[in-house]
Every structure is written in C-alpha cells, then in structure tokens.
C-alpha cells in the first residue's frame, strides 16, 4: 500500500500531510523510520515492568513522532497515555487500558504498511509473555 493509501485508510487527509512535508517519498521514509523507532519497544518493556517514568518518556516520544507526521489517531492515543503517566503514579488499570488503545493504533498503522522491522518486533503482554 502506498503512503497516501495508508493515511487515507487511517482517515487522515493526505493533502494536509503533503502540504506540510511536501514530498510523498519523504513522508514514506519518515513514516517507516517512525514505526521502526525503538521508542515502541521501550514503551512495551516499560509497561510490562510498570516502570512508569520510562513508559512516560517513551509515550512522549511516540506522541511527538505522531504529531510530526500528522498521525492523529496515534497522537491522540499517545497523548492520553502520556497524561495518565504524568507524575509517575498512574491508576494502573487506566494506564493499561490506554496502553492497549495505543497498541491498537500502532497495529492499525502497521497493518497498512510493509515495515518488516516494526512487524517483526515482539509485543509483550503486560504479564511478560510475547503476544
């Protein structure tokens, strides 16, 4: 699937993204680099350890990357998790639900992409086993 189709499948107006980043091949490169960023694995690991500070930093990084690429569904899910984790003592149930929501948004994007590194990454569940 081409990058425009990925954005359209996510309900995002690609013309706005193109106006900001100007070249479709640049957007495709940035999108693939973003989805392969180690912040996703860091978040998974931090959430499984209940390391709220590390999870906050990783979610904050993901939020920034998503906002830079105008990936609104991912950005909103990351913002919600960041705000829950802010301060380091979140409601654990809420944090897990927001994390699951963020992982769903990530899976939505990966489903439309061919980023082998992102697809190959194991996603641990919060009990420590791989999904």
Question: Does any domain span residue 128?
Answer: no
The domain containing residue 23 runs over which residues? 3-118
Assigned token pair, 116: 């082998």
Question: Given this model, what pLDDT does residue 128 score?
Answer: 47
Question: Does any domain span residue 123?
Answer: no
Question: Given this model, what pLDDT does residue 130 score?
Answer: 42
Question: Does any domain span residue 10?
Answer: yes
Beta-carbon contacts of 26 under 8 Å, excluding residues fewer than 6 positions away, are none
Question: Given this model, what pLDDT does residue 114 score?
Answer: 64
Question: Does any domain span residue 125?
Answer: no
Question: Does any domain span residue 19?
Answer: yes
**How many independent structural domains does the chain possess?**
1
Q: Measuring CA to CA, which residue among 67, 38, 52, 32 is closest to residue 99?
A: 52
- CATH number for the domain spanning 35: value is 1.20.120
**Cα distance between residue 76 and residue 103, in whole Å:** 12
Q: What is the mean pLDDT of each run of 10 residues along the chain (131 residues)?
A: 90 94 92 93 96 97 97 97 93 96 94 57 44 39
Question: Does any domain span residue 80?
Answer: yes
Q: Which residue has the tokens 């490169």?
A: 29
Question: Given this model, what pLDDT does residue 104 score?
Answer: 95
Question: Does any domain span residue 76?
Answer: yes
Strand-pairing partners, residue 124, are 130
Question: Given this model, what pLDDT does residue 1 score?
Answer: 76
Question: Does any domain span residue 130?
Answer: no
**Cα distance between residue 14 and residue 3, in whole Å:** 9
- Kindly tell me the sign of the dihedral angle through the C-alpha atoms of 11, 14, 17, 21: positive
């Amino acid at each position: 699937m081409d990058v425009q189709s990925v954005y359209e499948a996510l309900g995002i107006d690609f013309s706005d993204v193109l106006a900001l980043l100007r070249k479709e091949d640049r957007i495709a490169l940035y999108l693939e680099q973003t989805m392969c960023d180690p912040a996703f694995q860091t978040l998974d690991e931090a959430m499984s350890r209940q390391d709220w500070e590390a999870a906050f930093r990783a979610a904050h990084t993901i939020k920034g990357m998503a906002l830079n690429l105008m990936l609104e569904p991912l950005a909103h899910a990351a913002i919600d998790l960041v705000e829950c984790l802010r301060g380091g003592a979140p409601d654990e149930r809420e944090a897990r639900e927001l994390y699951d929501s963020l992982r769903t948004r990530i899976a939505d994007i990966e489903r439309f992409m061919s980023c082998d590194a992102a697809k190959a990454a194991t996603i641990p569940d919060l009990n420590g086993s791989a999904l």
